[in-house]
Amino acid sequence: MMSDTMLNVKNLKEVQSMLVAVFNATQDAISVVDKNGIGIMVNPAYTKITGLSEKDVLGKPATVDIAEGESVHMKVLATKKPVKGALLKVGPNRKEVLVNAAPIIVDGELIGSVGVLHDITEMNKLSEELRQAKQIIRKLEAKYTFDDIEGNNPELLNAVEKAKKAAETSVTVLLIGESGTGKEIFAHAIHNASDRKYKQFVRVNCAAIPQSLLESELFGYEEGAFTGAKKGGKKGLFEEANGGTIFLDEIAEINVETQAKLLRVLQEKEIMKIGGIKPISVDVRVIAASNVDLENAVKQGKFRKDLYYRINMYPIKLPPLKERRGDIEILAKFFIKKYNQEYGRNIEGIDDEALEKLMEYDWPGNVRELENIIGRAIINMKITDKIIEKRHLPKFELGDGKISAPLDVDFSEWQPMTLDELIEKVEKEYISRVLKSCNSNKTQAAKILNISLRNLYYKLEKYNLK
């Protein structure tokens, strides 16, 4: 018979074998160091993530696998406390990982540290798949509510109160404000606070759709209405939005002919398809938005007076960011939180010097430009940085529209071309420079180029400029 001692040894060996099997089979990457910070164990999942084998790690200091950041093992050994959520880059491929580590204590004595690594790349991929899935769902409904409007500026809060009152009825709303002030968010919020919230919300950028297609997009067409018309015809966006809300962004860009047909929709609550002979009744709440002075457009004959009075029944003016500087810190913190979630980061805030720089700027691109700056600052930060500093902020002093360098067309690899081709090459380069100087503010770029916003959108598409 086996003695109790031999039986205990056998049981311990069996348990040890089981633990080793679990250690090697788990999908979690694990590394273990002794009390001196020397590697003693890693599993296959660790090798898969880091690209480092046992030979590269065992018998070597805990810092051997770190490409960027501080060793969590050494921190655990120094403090005898767990470390959670540390972001590091490890291995020759600088793989970004999230690490949790804990002390190994036996009979009250610290004998080592164990760390578990999670591949951030895979986590970000799953997060992106989730975001795309949510985006598909969001196409069926408005994304934002009044809770998404950040700020304490009195003018902004007044606009919010007016918008909440508008949501209680089906009155046509005109949102007035510079590009980037949040007109679309307000439109979504009004829809979501109304009794139409479970119906479609359709957004139309009137400047981005070529004028020749806008009428058919808005009102639809019958089969055979024109060359290239789809068999069976097509529903227009007003029909798609029936029972819900249609948001006509940059409404000033609609030409006078289409304005007349839009006026009929607002007056008669019906549309006429291109090539159609019978009007179709629609029940649609219209929210329009403009970043130009529509009264002035009426005086210049570019916008119908009767349509202006129809859409201006309940105007709501949104203040530019330069008039609500007290909200910049609130918005910066909001965007930090947003990009922490999107980028898998853990940025804690912004320091006073960086905030002062944001406060000094005039923000021609308004809230949209501020979001862009915060996002780019976070991208510029190291994985170990926690606070946005002035050095992280991208250069954004060029909002005045000044071109930072002379235009230069490269003829080093010259080939014969027509004069039209040369003009297009120069035009593409110049538009690109102007956009960059305006921080991609298309309204401001169009003013500098002295062309309509619609024409700018056409050229951006033509030259594949973002």
Question: What string of pLDDT tens digits covers the 466 residues of the chain?
Answer: 455 554 444 555 565 566 666 677 777 889 999 999 999 989 998 998 889 988 998 999 989 999 888 899 999 999 999 988 888 888 888 888 888 999 998 888 999 999 998 887 766 665 565 555 444 444 445 689 999 999 999 999 999 999 999 999 999 999 999 999 999 999 999 999 999 998 999 999 888 888 778 888 899 888 776 655 677 788 889 999 999 999 999 999 999 889 999 999 999 999 988 888 889 999 999 999 999 999 999 999 999 999 999 999 999 999 999 999 999 999 999 999 999 988 888 899 999 999 989 988 889 889 999 999 999 999 889 888 999 999 999 876 544 444 444 455 555 555 667 777 777 888 888 888 888 877 777 877 887 787 877 778 778 878 888 6
- Measure the CA–CA gap between 449 and 455, rounded to whole angstroms: 10
- In-domain check, residue 190: yes
> Is 196 within the bounds of a domain?
yes
Distance CA 53, CA 55 (A): 5
- Report whether 42 contacts 58 (CB < 8 A): yes
Bridge partners, residue 115, by sequence = 31, 101
User: Is residue 265 a contact partner of residue 251, using CB atoms and an 8 Å limit?
Assistant: no
pLDDT of residue 402: 44
- Alpha-carbon distance of 231 to 98, in angstroms, equals 54
pLDDT in tens, 120-141: 776 666 556 555 544 444 444 5
DSSP notation for 199-243? S-EEEEETTTS-HHHHHHHHHEE-TTSSTTPPTT-EE-HHHHTTT
Whole-prediction pTM? 0.61
- At 197-208, the pLDDT tens digits run 989 999 998 888
Q: How far apart are CA 13 and CA 7, in angstroms?
A: 10
| CATH code at position 56 | 3.30.450.20
Question: For the chain, give me the number of helices (H) and strands (E)?
Answer: 18, 17
d(CA 218, CA 223): 16
Looking at the fold, whether 386 and 438 belong to one and the same domain comes out as no
Residues 300 and 348 in one domain: no
Q: Based on the domain organization, do 189 and 278 belong to the same domain?
A: yes
11 lies in a domain?
no
For the beta carbon of residue 91, count every other beta carbon within 10 angstroms.
18
The residue segments making up the domain with residue 232 are 140-319
With a CB cutoff of 8 Å and minimum separation 6, the contacts of 240 are 200, 202
Tell me if 6 is assigned to some domain: no
Q: Give the list of residues 6+ apart from residue 239 with CB closer than 8 angstroms, or none.
A: 220, 271, 280, 282
Model confidence over 61-86: pLDDT tens digits? 989 999 888 899 999 999 999 988 88
Asked if 28 contacts 97 with a C-beta cutoff of 8 angstroms, the reply is: no
**Could you give the angle at which helices 183-192 and 154-167 cross, rounded to 10 degrees?**
40
What CATH number has the domain bearing residue 362?
A: 1.10.8.60
pLDDT at residue 128, as a whole number: 63
Q: pLDDT (tens digit, 9 = 90+) per residue, 135-167?
A: 444 444 568 999 999 999 999 999 999 999 999
Q: Which own/partner pairs from 62-71 qualify as long-range (CB within 8 Å, at least 24 positions apart)?
A: 62/33, 62/37, 62/38, 62/113, 63/37, 64/39, 65/31, 65/90, 65/91, 66/90, 67/91, 67/92, 67/94, 68/94, 68/382, 68/383, 68/384, 69/383, 69/384, 70/384, 71/37
Q: What is the pLDDT of residue 188?
A: 96
Helix (H) or strand (E) holding 245: strand 245-249
Asked whether residue 206 falls in the same domain as residue 300, the answer is yes
Specify the number of domains making up the chain.
4
CATH assignment of the domain containing 426: 1.10.10
380 and 246 housed in the same domain: no
